[in-house]
A and B are shown apart, each in its own frame.
Chain A
Amino acid sequence: MTEAAPRYDAIVIGGGVGGLVAAAHLAAGGFARSRLRVVLVEARNMLGGTAENLPFGDGFRGPVGGHAIYALDPASIGKLRLARRGLAFAERDMALVALRQGGRHIVLTRDVYACRATIAAHDTGDADRFPRFRREAFALARHMRSFWDGTAGAAADERPVLDRLARLSAAAWLDGWFASDALKAALAFDATSCGFSPLEPGSALALIWRWGLEACGLQGGSAQVAGGPGALAAALAKAAQASGVAIRTGAHVEAILYEGGRVVGVRLSTGEMLAAGVVLSSLDTRRTLLHLLPPEALPFGAAAALGAREGARAPASASVLLALNRPPAFAAGLSARALRGRFVFPERPDAIAEAKGAALTGLMPAELVVEATLPSEADPAHGPISQHVLSALIRFLPAQPAGGWASHRTALKDRLIAALEVFAPGLAQSVVGFEVLTPDDLAARYGDMSSQAADALGRLLAAPETRVRSVVPGLYFCGGAAEPATALSGRAARLAAALARADAKAEARA
């Protein structure tokens, strides 16, 4: 079938962060004596996936995904020499700012003792307990990170701790430490990045995963890429090209070819076939296994398990970019450092749970669950001089609201502005442009990831190799689906490349 097709050693499907990292590592490492031939095929005409800078308004641009980078693989940054290829950070340690109506915002920075002042405004006991909590939680997260990295080989020891955390909600965990809802909502918010509400079992584990990660060498940190996430994509593309990866954009993979019990290549929508014994997919698991592969390729149990999740409903996310002609005037003011941080609300953990519950039943939430940044604060290149950009990621929205997302686009923007207005009076008057990417828009641009979100706990509990290696010989996952939670990371991609190399070596020896 693929005899006449151009032959490569490996094909990488998808040119997002995961695909680019995997392709670059594969080509740079090489698992054959001769130089490894790797081709990356991307359906869109640009690389980077969600790591994209979106032009909007009058001369503005804003991040679509990744306005705060927290999971980017440090090993890939180093090995692929991304700093030399243009990767820089405008803000290396973003504060977490839990916005409160009327002022009294909680600002969590790396300096735990500096945090005490904002916490003490709510509860002095919480302020006293916070340094110890942070120390213990981060120590646990450091201990657990080897499980997700697959580096320590101590998974068996960690399993009991994992299982215990998998049954624990962030709210219950934090209830044991703190009294104030404000602090608990602030700390629990990051569980939403894994798709959990703070009241759900497993959300404590999501926090531990998140706090075990490093950004710019800082545990539990978040960073802002200078030039926006598009600059990260550009640096990765340069790394891939420097490694010799052949990059083909506008090439839509229609099918993964399967013969003799293993993958043998891909077929593009043009009918062109590319042959390779190794295929790495950065698409989601279901799309790769159920829709691109022929049914013969999948064992019945695995296919049934995937199929069972096909109709699973998961809350969706939306991205809203606002162009502002002046910076938001948050009540009681915020330091310049805090303005370069992440702003999160609602103010109560229960409101996050209510939002998720509403989203699962197809309803718009009563309170929006928002993580926002002001990327122009640290990196003025996001808009015209003295203009500002606010990037908001709204989580826990219904995948299909009544009437469809097209009829909710403007209302969503208005609701976001109204919600921000509560914390920053006058913000509505400063909006001079906007862009709304509804869940439908995001799915159309980057693919539907709702099935991954529906299995958040399963992904967190899966050992790295089981996330990366598929049940089909020669096929690996290297995108967000292979990560414990969907994030701009590249960890799974690096692992997938290493596993593919090791497997190919073993096969060659055999």
Chain B
Amino acid sequence: MTGTPTVTRPTPFHVRTAERNRDNVWRARNGFTLPAHYGDARAEALAVRFSAIAADVSHRAWLRFTGARAGPLCARAFGQAVAAIEPGASRTVLWRADGGGVRGTGTLARLATGDFVLLSYVCDHAWFEDAAARFGVRLFEETGEAGLLALAGPFAAAILEVGGLAEAATLEPGRHRAFVWRGLDVTVSRWGVLGGYEIGCAADDAVIVFDRVMSAGAGLGLALAGEDAFATILMETGVAVPCADWAPARDPFATGPAPETLGLAELAGAAHATPPLVLAGIVLDSEEPAPRAAILKGSEIVGATLGSLYSPALKRAIALAQIAPAHAGAGTAIAARHAGDGAMTIEGTVVDLPFLPIPDQIRP
């Protein structure tokens, strides 16, 4: 990661998202400005459960590795398992500092034999730059150079069919393919953790793609989701987002955060046999979120919350938390205590993740 950019840029969809952002509320993400919401963040978050949402995700960091040794480079960076990714397929990956601390998570897709792309929440270009040179691999940061529109929810596939991308609707999760969509070159992928689709297009075509998607979804309850709603949906799905919910390792030799504490043990390969903390979900007996709060079992502190948001689907606040394994079982009653001014304690219950079904698994 190159640090938080101080100057923000518009995404290729900005022209359209700006005119719908009636309250003119923005969030800065990875160097780009994105609408916080389009009037009602709760309604937008609920839409992914009942119909579908479209969200501008062009700001996601996009690193491309090309060259004959791109495969070995990715295997060194993300683990040997990525060597098995076929062209057209992808895999969720994490990468770690030398000391083992998690630096980032993302989706690694293989575009061709020697051509990989890493799509992640935050850019870690500097980490890969030196390694790419040593492997003789060319590294390009293409963040924001193309439009990427996420489509998720029970009607996401139907919207693609209505819009004329019926073939894309049949893509298996993790796959991607290029299509000519009524004269436009687009790539439809299924890389997202929400299980939906992403439509990638040239920046110049972004407005047309946006209009077509919105037009196709008009009769199917398609809602635009801003960043606030998207963050809620991700948390409901049990995804701890780097830089939002947890701080990625930045020292090259950092030992933390450990993958187990972020729910990423499976991606890390050799997991810690007895991790001191594990990721768990907490449903609070309140509508008030409790981010960065101590978790108490009786009078003993057994963990801490990461991010916490209000879930309109559960009508309660939810939180991702790092808890001692002994207290991480679903149904355990705990309390979250805010520190500082206005300190208060909120009762809650540990639940399994995800909080709610992944939107793709909801049948219309």
Contact = CB atoms under 8 A, between A and B. Distances in A.
A300 B135 contact: no
A471 B252 CA distance: 13
Nearest to A299: B98
A301 interface: yes
A300 B132 CA distance: 10
A307 B134 contact: yes
A301 B98 contact: yes
A300 B72 contact: no
A510 to B, nearest CB: 15
Given A300-B127, A300-B130, A295 B98 contact: no
The residue among B97, B127, B130, B253 with the most chain A CB atoms within 10 A of its own CB is: B130
Nearest to A302: B98
A304 interface: yes
B72 A304 contact: no
B103 to A, nearest CB: 9
Given A300-B77, A301-B97, A295 B131 contact: yes
A3 interface: no
Nearest to A307: B130
Contact of A303 (B75, B97, B134): B134
Contacts of A303: 130-131, 134
Interface in B97-143: 97-99, 127-128, 130-131, 133-135
B272 interface: no
Interface string A453-483: 0000000000000000001000000000000
B76 interface: yes
* Size range of the chain B interface in the assembly: 10 to 19
Interface string A61-87: 000000000000000000000000000
A300 B75 contact: no
Interface string A199-220: 0000000000000000000000
A301 B249 CA distance: 12
A155 interface: no
The residue among A296, A298, A300 with the most chain B CB atoms within 10 A of its own CB is: A300
B130 A296 contact: no
Contacts of A299: 98
B106 to A, nearest CB: 15
Contacts of B76: 295-296, 300
B117 to A, nearest CB: 18
A299 B131 CA distance: 9
Interface residues of A, number: 13
Contacts of A471: 98
A290 interface: yes
A501 to B, nearest CB: 25
Contacts of B72: 295-296
A307 B135 CA distance: 13
Interface in B266-285: none
Contacts of B97: 301
B340 to A, nearest CB: 33
Contacts of B128: 300
B135 A295 contact: yes
B144 to A, nearest CB: 24
Contacts of B253: 301-302
B130 A304 contact: yes
A10 to B, nearest CB: 25
Given A299-B98, A300-B98, A290 B134 contact: yes
A305 interface: yes
Given A300-B127, A300-B131, 6 more contacts: A290-B134, A295-B69, A295-B131, A300-B98, A301-B97, A307-B134
Interface of B: 69, 72-73, 75-77, 97-99, 127-128, 130-131, 133-135, 252-253
23 contacts: A290-B134, A295-B69, A295-B73, A295-B76, A295-B135, A296-B72, A296-B76, A298-B134, A300-B76, A300-B127, A300-B128, A300-B130, A301-B97, A301-B252, A302-B253, A303-B130, A303-B131, A303-B134, A304-B130, A305-B252, A307-B133, A307-B134, A471-B98
Q: Pick the 3 closest A-B CB pairs, nearest first.
A: A301-B252, A301-B98, A299-B98
